[in-house]
């Protein structure tokens, strides 16, 4: 089952599991310094508010087992194929660019649209970036949804998922879910893909 894991995906899975175990023993202690807090000091958990390193560390924290499971399952499903296309170095750059882009998007949203004192955590920004790349690299590969069990090509799945996130974010439904951060992860991934493509030598 795990033989097909690629090196960076395996490292990310282990790191997220290890941090989740630390969270289980320390409670909210890790959230104070390593979750992504809104700009300015927060009164929650006596946190200092936003710090630059939180744009990376928040992606290793999760708000419960199912939150972790969902993100790690998606990383396990889509990450290895993306890493095989990009290679280790570019995959790591791509993943963390999506994580940081998602975090910056969330900071802007919480600052100017939905003001909130609560922190953001989870690997979803990076996972949504991987999902975008997967849909672009393997557009006609069939994916089978769980609910409902309907097969569809990867490009359609990614498009519909992105539109759903936009609608949920715009109308403020499913509170507690950082929909715009998910979109920020996808947008950051798309911009990086476009940049890399622009650096390729022109075909003659």
| 44 secondary structure, DSSP code | G
- Is 182 considered catalytic here? yes
Cα(169)–Cα(165) distance, integer angstroms: 6
Compute the half-sphere exposure of residue 9: CA atoms within 13 Å on the CB side of its CA: 23
**Cis omega (within 30 of 0) on the bond before 172?**
no
From 42, 62, 179, 182, active-site residue: 182
H or E segment at 114?
none
The one catalytic residue among 42, 124, 179, 188: 124
Calculate ∠ Cα 160-134-128, nearest 5°: 60
**Residue 124 among the catalytic residues:** yes
Q: Cβ distance 184 to 105 under 8 Å?
A: yes
- By the 10 Å C-beta count (0-12 exposed, 13-18 middle, 19+ buried), 201 is classed as exposed
Rounded CA separation 202/107 (Å):
38
Active-site residue set: 124, 182
């Amino acid at each position: 089952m795990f033989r097909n894991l690629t090196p960076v995906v395996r490292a990310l899975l282990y790191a997220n599991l290890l941090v989740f175990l630390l969270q289980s023993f320390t409670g909210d202690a890790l959230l104070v310094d390593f979750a992504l807090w809104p700009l300015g000091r927060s009164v929650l958990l006596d946190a200092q508010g936003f710090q630059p390193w939180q744009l990376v560390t928040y992606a290793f924290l999760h708000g419960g087992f199912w939150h972790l499971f969902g993100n790690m399952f998606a990383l396990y499903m889509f990450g290895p194929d993306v890493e095989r296309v990009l290679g280790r170095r570019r995959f790591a750059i791509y993943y963390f660019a999506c994580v940081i882009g998602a975090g910056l998007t969330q900071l802007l949203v919480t600052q100017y649209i939905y003001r909130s004192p609560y922190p953001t955590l989870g690997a979803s920004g990076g996972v949504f970036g991987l999902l975008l790349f997967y849909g672009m690299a393997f557009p006609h590969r069939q994916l089978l949804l769980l609910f409902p069990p309907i097969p569809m090509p990867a490009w359609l799945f990614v498009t519909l998922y992105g539109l759903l996130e936009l609608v949920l974010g715009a109308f403020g439904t499913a509170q507690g879910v950082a929909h715009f951060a998910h979109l920020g992860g996808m947008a950051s991934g798309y911009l990086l893909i476009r940049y890399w493509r622009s650096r390729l030598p022109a075909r003659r």
